Structure formats: C-alpha cells, structure tokens
Structure 1
Amino acid sequence: MIPASFDYARPASLDEAVTVLAEAGEDAKVLAGGQSLLPLLRLRLAYPSTLVDLARVPEPHGVRDEGDHVFIGAMTTHDDVIHSPIVKSECPLVALATATVADPAVRHRGTFGGSLAHADPAGDLPSVAVALDMRMVARSSSGERVIPAADFFVDYLESALAPGEILVGVQVPKLGPGWGFRYEKFHRTAQAWAIVGVAAAVRRSNGTIEEARVGLTNMGTRPVRASAVEEAVRGLPVGDSAAVKDAASHAAEGTEPPADLHAQPDYRRHLARILTHRALLAAAAG
C-alpha cells in the first residue's frame, strides 16, 4: 500500500529536531530507524502530518558509562548495543534481549530508542526496561525530563512521550555483582514478534535467591512486571527447580494477554509460567 501524504523534515541537530517537532503539532511523528513506523505508514495505520527524520542528528548515538548507570543513545542501533563492551559488562540482560530482536537486517537499521518509543508490548525491549527499572530521557523545546520505565509504557503503542518530545536516550541502572540474567522468548520464526517473552534478573547470595526481577513480553497492552513471582522466588535455593517452578506459577497473575491468530490468552498464560521457570533457573545459575 501507499502511505498517506505528509510533510517531511530532516533536521541536522537535536535542537533543530525538537523545534521542528514543536512547530509541526500533535500529529507529527519521529522517524528513527523506521523498522516499526514504516510498516504502519504503508498500511495507513499511522497518519502523521509531518515526519521528522533523525538520520542526520548526531547527538542521540552511542553507549557510555555514567557511573551508576549506562546511557544508551536512542539512535544507537540494536547491533551496536549487542556488541557494546559496556553493555555486555554492565547490563548484559539488555544485550541478551536485543540479540533476539527480529533479524540481522532489522538489527543493523532499527534503533534501541525507537523500539522503546514504539511501545509495542510484543517487542522484546519494553519488558527488559521495566525489569531493570530503566529511565527514559526525553527532550522537547521546553527542556529535558526523565521518565521511569514503569510510567513510560501507557497502553498499546502508546508511551508517556508528550507531543513535541523526542526520546533521546535511556539510563540503565547498574545492578552490580552477584546477578545472573536470562531472556526467554517463544516465537514462530526467528524474525517474528514474541508470542511470550520473559526477562529475568536474579541476585544470588550463599546459594539462595536474594532478589529477582521479572518482566513479561506480550502479556497485556503494556509490559508487565511479575511482582508475584519476584516475591515468591525470594529466599529459595538456587538449584531447587521444583520450588522455582512453583514460584513461576504466579507469572500470569494480574495479566491480560491478547487473543490473536498466534495464540489465545490461556496458551500465553501457560507459556508465561513455563518460560519464567526456565528464565529464573538460567539466571540463577549465572
């Protein structure tokens, strides 16, 4: 299909981009890698009045260590995130989940921030964001603000970004030593969206699970933090598969998984419990 007509702007700096976006009005859209937005345009599921292309904007690129957190520029490609030594060392769950996004072609073009700003609950990164308590840095013509991941994902394809705001980067808190990580994903083909995914981080001490963080992919209209599982698994022996499985049985509590051509809600709840069990065991094993 052919997209509806729109105005096109290609600013050369972040300041110019937020100015153009403010002048364009509420119906403007930001184009980063385009891997999520362009299909919506072709299907006429999005009707932007203006498309603001960030391809020439240099500021939101790259990964840097900022002390207690890692900053990932919104325009950093998935491939660059996967291969970043800083990400691998300080926030490996991000690298693990990003490596499962779509296929190599998409990962070389798609952007880390674009995937998060798209706010698709079937995307792999939103669940990681809520599990790790990431903070989203947004910029507009009136200044900059930081939005916790728990507040960033509002609804299906809807984020907390206000009209005129651009996601410029993400702060990923460092969890420190003693943590293990795992991202489990069930999908039909390598490039398909997750039918269900589980992001797990586990802190071990003296053979027990001291703390766990669990985020669920595609179990509602936004990413879900499995707090019941996190509470149930605390204090369990690291290698006790039966006890961890019992804790993982709480994974679907409070969720509203969708029904579509790929799976019904009951099947997704089943997958959430199975994948959470696997993810917790793998993360606890280090």
Structure 2
Amino acid sequence: MKPAPFGYHAPADVAEATALLSELGDDAKVLAGGQSLVPMMALRLARPEQVVDVNRVAGLGGVRRENGTLVVGATTRHVALERDPVVAAAVPLLARAAPYIGHFQIRNRGTLGGSLAHADAAAELPAVARALDAEFELAGPDGTRRVAAAAFFRTLFTTALEPDELLVAVRFPIWRPRSGFAVAEVARRHGDFALAGAVCGVQVDAGRISRVAIGLIGMGSVPLRAEAVERSLTGSEAAALDLDDVGAQAVAGTDPPSDVHAGTHYRAKVGAALVARALSTALKEADHG
C-alpha cells in the first residue's frame, strides 16, 4: 500500500523544527530514521497530515563525552552506536545492544532518537536507557528541558514528549572501570522483535557488587527496571549469587503481554533465564576488568 497524502517539511535547525511542530500541532509526526513511521504510514496504520523531517537539522547527530556522560545526538544512526569506538569505550551496553536492532538495513537508517521516541517496550534501546538512568534532552518553542528515563516512558508508544517538542539528545552516565555489561534476548529470528530480553550492567569492588542495573525487554507496556533486585544485590558477594533466583526475582510482579508470538507465562519464564544469563556474563567481564 501507499501512505495517505501528507504535507512535508524539512527544517534546517531545532528552532525551525519546534516552531513547525508548535504550528502544526497533533496533525504532525516527526520523521527521523523512519524505520517505524514509514511502514506504519504505508499500511495506513498511521495517517499524519504533516511530516516534519529532522534529518537535515543541524547539530542533532554525533556523540561526545561531557562531564562524566556520553551525549548522543538524536539522529545518530544505530550503525554508529554499533561501530563508534567512543560509544564502545564510554557506554559499552549501548554498543552491545545495537546489533540486536532489526537487520543491517534498518540500523543504517534507524536513529537513537527515533527508537526512543517510538517507545516500544520490546525494543532494545529503551531498555538500555532505562537501565542506565539516561537523561533525555527535549527542545520546545520555550527552550529545553531534561527528563529522566524513568519519567520519559509513560505507556506503550507514549512518552513525555509534548506535541511541540523534539528529542535532541540523550545523556548516558559513564560507569567507571571494573564494570561489566551484557545483553541477552530471545527472538524468533535474529532481527525480529524480542519475545523477552534483559540488559545488565554491574560493577564489582573487592568481590562485592557496588553497582548494578537490570533492564527488562518486552516484559510490560514500558521498559522495566528490576530496582528491588538491584537494591538487594548491592553489597552482595558476587561469587555467592544464585543467578537463577535473581532472575526469578527480577521478573516477579511483571505482567508480560500475551500475543500470537508468546504467552505471558512463557515470557516470564524466559525473561528470568535471560536476566540470569546477562548478569552472569556481566559479572565475568567485571571480574576481569
């Protein structure tokens, strides 16, 4: 199918983009990588009257280190997250999650900002942002504001972005040495959306866990974080952990969706095993860091 007719706009800077969004209101959709929006438009599941293409907006791409954080521009492509040595050194979890995103054609066009603004709980980047306490920089006609990942994701496909706001950058905290990171997920085929998954970061000092982050993929309507388990693990002896028990605790209380691809019980069972697997891998890396 072909999309319904729409107006097209290609602003040159952030100010022009937010002014357009303010003027066009709810009738407008932002086009970044287009890997979610364009197929939905082609199937007429989305029928925006106006499309604001931000690919030519100056300053929205690229990565840089700043005050203990990695600042990633919203139009930075997935392939850059996967291959940029700056990303790999500063935020390894971001680099390791990127290869799981779709197929290489999608990663060549898809963007960090597009994926996060789409807010699919079965996607990898929202889980990484949630686990690492990323901070979202939003620009609107009245200036910019920052929103923590915990407050950014509201419900399925819904975020804290106002209709006249644009996601311009995401700030990821840089963990110190002796940290380990891992991604584990199950999908029907590589490149398909995950049926369940986990992302994990852990820091070990003198054999004990001093910092841990566990994000869950596809286990609810928003990317979830196993905060209660993180608190219980902090200070624990790394070598003495019962990882299967940790995995079970991490998914306890979640309500995974049930659909034609997998049921709630299956997702919970697999999700627990994936948490255990990701944490095991991350602990080994931290131990050798």
One fold, TM greater than 0.5?
yes
Conserved 8 A contact 1:184-1:278:
yes
1:65, CA displacement in angstroms? Answer: 0.7
- After TM superposition, list the pairs within 5 Å mapping 1:115-264 onto structure 2: 115-240=115-240, 243-264=242-263
> 1:89 and 1:239 mapped to 2: Cα distance?
26
Unaligned runs of 5+ in 1: none
User: What does 1:88-99 correspond to in 2, within 5 Å?
Assistant: 88-99=88-99
CA distance in 2, matches of 1:101, 1:149: 20
**For 2:47, what is the secondary structure of its paired residue?**
coil
Distance in 2 separating the partners of 1:53 and 1:166: 11
For the pair 1:63 / 2:79, whether they are aligned, the reply is no
Q: Would you identify which runs of 4 or more consecutive aligned residues in structure 1 move more than 4 Å?
A: none
Aligned to 2:272: 273
Q: SS of 2:239's equivalent?
A: coil
8 Å CA contact 1:96–1:183 kept in 2: the answer is: yes
Q: CA deviation at 1:254?
A: 2.4
1: CA distance, partners of 2:228 / 2:186: 22
Paired residue type of 1:59 = G
Report % sequence identity.
41
CA deviation after TM superposition for structure 1 residue 13, in Å = 1.8
Aligned equivalents of 2:7, 2:179: Cα separation in 1: 48
Aligned counterparts of 2:266 and 2:153: Cα–Cα separation in 1: 24
CA-based RMSD: 1.2
Considering fraction of residues, name the structure with more helix.
2
Amino acid at match of 2:58: P
Equivalent position of 2:22 in the other structure: 22
CA distances 1:73-132 after superposition (whole Å, capped 9, x unpaired): 000001111122221111100100112111111111100111001001011111111100
Distance in 1 between the 2:219 and 2:226 partners?
A: 10
The worse-fitting range, judged by mean Cα deviation, of 10-19 and 25-34 is: 10-19
Alignment of 1:71-82 (within 5 A): 71-82=71-82
Deviation string, structure 1 residues 250-278 (Cα, Å, up to 9, x no partner):
12122111111110000000011100000
- Which residue identity does 1:56 align to in structure 2? R
Aligned-pair distance for 1:229? 2.4
**SS in structure 2 at match of 1:266:** helix
**TM-score with structure 1 length normalisation?**
0.96
Count of aligned pairs: 285
Paired residue secondary structure (2:175): coil
Distance (Å, rounded) in 2 between the aligned partners of 1:173 and 1:211: 13
Q: What displacement does 1:64 show?
A: 0.5
